[in-house]
């Protein structure tokens, strides 16, 4: 299908991102996002790149807009620029595929029924993903649509990595296991790193996706072999508002000690902890870096804990690999916050890794090497700008071609 457009839709619980790629590759012809859905401050913004014309950037307030109104606006927008005329595929990001889906699938009624059945595994994300799928199928019924799963890349993990220390029946009967997330991002970052460094078929990479939600992934010869997020995105690193790893007994302790219902504790662990809870200031790392520079001790400690946890996971994942060729940083924090990268890398000195200060501090949206020449380590540090929508488009094209 040469010269055909691929639309990618990433429907979140209160947000929506979209991009259109010519033939499923390259820079997007148009991309944008909507935030604060169903709230007074809801808005949509987009950027259009047309041949031989200046880039168009626009933002529109849409108070109270829901997924349906936003998607209708997007379809009308795409039509006005003529992008729908050559639309051949729509790719949807789906957060959780359970054990049913390890690869992208063409959507049909049977697949959507299965997605509904496993929505309890990701109650905040999958229902929103399904809403986007249903609206897109209704508006564009003649366009093939594909689901790409954020858990899919991690389905290659061995049992010793994905099983918890629970009776096996909880896995076989109820699906309790490590699933992992950010698989689309980790796969893209690792593939670009292999290409950038010219690595051979045998290679080991640790991918570090740092954003409001963060995770680390050990990748052996292109396959995920372990990752920090677990049954839900709560496990693993300290994140924007998620606590990450804690002793499970804390839930029972808080319930008994202060009478906090389990549902409220779960909400706290997901929405009121992490950087926000530790600092008491913000869940935005940029805000905390600013406060830390001004001497705020709470912000400084929150950042130290965040970076320490990342470095601890990186070093622990060496045990998952046969060799370590590269550590790659991606995600909005991973690619934009040089102070955070520097603090994490400084804890990896035992690996003989040294950062190239000039490369680490400069800005840019291109893949680049962050490590300095070192005879004591074969491991390179790489920065790969996040490109989930591009990876989804690429996987959609591979599926149908």
Instruction: Give the tokens for residue 186.
Output: 């980790």
How far is the C-alpha of 318 from the C-alpha of 276, rounded, in Å?
A: 30
- With beta carbons less than 8 A apart as the criterion, state whether 267 and 234 touch: no
Does the pLDDT at position 2 exceed 80? Answer: no
The pTM of this model reads 0.93
How far is the C-alpha of 265 from the C-alpha of 160, rounded, in Å?
A: 29
User: Is 267 annotated among the ligand-binding residues?
Assistant: no
For the chain, the C-alpha Rg in angstroms (whole number) is 21
How far is the C-alpha of 248 from the C-alpha of 250, rounded, in Å?
A: 5
Could you say which DSSP state residue 337 is in? -
- With beta carbons less than 8 A apart as the criterion, state whether 216 and 317 touch: yes
The domain 5-149 is placed in CATH, from the list 3.30.420.40, 3.40.50.300, 3.20.20.70, 3.40.50.2300, at 3.30.420.40
Q: State the average pLDDT over residues 105-132.
A: 92
Q: For residue 1, what pLDDT is reported?
A: 45
User: Is 285 annotated among the ligand-binding residues?
Assistant: yes
Strands 204-209 and 326-330: parallel
**Helix-strand-coil split of the chain, %, nearest 5:** 40, 20, 40
**E-assigned strands of 161-313?**
204-209, 215-220, 223-227
User: Is 133 annotated among the ligand-binding residues?
Assistant: no
Does the pLDDT at position 46 exceed 70? Answer: yes
Query: Per the residue annotation, which of 109, 150, 252, 290 is the catalytic one?
Result: 150
How far is the C-alpha of 16 from the C-alpha of 331, rounded, in Å?
A: 17
Does the pLDDT at position 82 exceed 80? Answer: yes
Q: 183-383 belongs to which homologous superfamily? A: ATPase, nucleotide binding domain (3.30.420.40)
Domain boundaries, the chain: 5-149, 183-383
Question: Which of 275, 178, 166 has the alpha carbon at shortest distance from 225?
Answer: 178
User: Is 286 annotated among the ligand-binding residues?
Assistant: yes
Q: For residue 400, what pLDDT is reported?
A: 87
Write the pLDDT tens digit of every residue in 305-354.
999 999 999 999 999 999 999 999 999 999 999 999 999 999 998 888 88
* Cβ neighbours for 230, distance < 8 A, ≥ 6 positions apart: 164, 178, 179, 180, 236
Question: Which of 33, 70, 31 has the alpha carbon at shortest distance from 393?
Answer: 31
pLDDT range class, residue 301, cuts 50, 70, 90: very high
Instruction: Give the tokens for residue 214.
Output: 């963060």
Question: Which of 223, 74, 238 has the alpha carbon at shortest distance from 162?
Answer: 223
DSSP three-state, residue 235: coil
Is 150 considered catalytic here?
A: yes
Is 5-149's fold the same as 183-383's? yes
User: Is 284 annotated among the ligand-binding residues?
Assistant: yes
Question: Which of 94, 99, 321 has the alpha carbon at shortest distance from 231?
Answer: 99
């Amino acid at each position: 299908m040469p010269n055909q457009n691929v639309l990618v839709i990433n429907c979140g619980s209160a947000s929506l991102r979209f991009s259109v790629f010519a033939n499923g590759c390259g820079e997007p012809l148009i991309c944008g996002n909507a935030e604060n859905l169903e709230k007074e401050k809801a808005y949509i913004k987009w950027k259009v790149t047309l041949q031989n014309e200046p880039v168009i950037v626009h933002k529109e307030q849409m108070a109270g807009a829901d997924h349906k109104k936003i998607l209708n606006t997007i379809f009308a927008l795409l039509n006005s620029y003529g992008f729908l005329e050559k639309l051949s595929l729509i790719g949807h990001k789906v957060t959780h595929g359970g054990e049913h889906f390890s690869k992208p699938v063409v959507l049909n009624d049977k697949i959507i029924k299965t997605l509904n059945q496993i929505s309890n595994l990701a109650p905040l994300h999958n229902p929103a993903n399904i809403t986007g799928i249903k609206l897109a199928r209704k508006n564009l019924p003649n366009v093939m649509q594909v689901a790409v799963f954020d858990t899919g890349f991690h389905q290659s993990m061995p049992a010793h990595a994905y099983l918890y220390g629970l009776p096996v029946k909880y896995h076989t009967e109820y699906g309790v296991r490590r699933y992992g997330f950010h698989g689309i991002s980790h796969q893209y970052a690792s593939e670009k790193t292999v290409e950038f460094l010219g690595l051979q078929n045998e290679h080991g990479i640790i991918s570090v996706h740092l954003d409001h939600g963060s995770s680390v992934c050990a990748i052996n010869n292109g396959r995920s072999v372990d990752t920090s997020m677990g049954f839900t995105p709560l496990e693993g690193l300290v994140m924007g508002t998620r606590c990450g790893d804690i002793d499970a007994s804390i839930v029972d302790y808080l319930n008994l000690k202060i009478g906090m219902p389990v549902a409220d504790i779960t909400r706290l662990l997901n929405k009121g902890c992490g950087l926000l809870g530790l600092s008491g200031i913000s869940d935005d790392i940029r805000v905390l870096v600013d406060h830390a520079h001004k001497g705020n001790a709470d912000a400084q400690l929150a950042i130290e804990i965040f970076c320490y946890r990342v470095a601890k996971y990186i070093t622990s994942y060496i045990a998952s690999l046969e060799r370590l060729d590269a550590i790659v940083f991606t995600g909005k924090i991973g690619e934009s916050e040089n102070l955070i990268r520097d603090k994490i890398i400084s804890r990896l000195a035992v690996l003989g890794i040294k950062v190239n200060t000039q490369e680490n501090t400069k800005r840019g949206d291109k893949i680049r090497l962050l490590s300095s020449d070192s005879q004591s380590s074969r491991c390179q540090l790489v920065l790969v700008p996040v490109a989930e929508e591009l990876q989804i488009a690429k996987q959609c094209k591979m599926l149908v071609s």
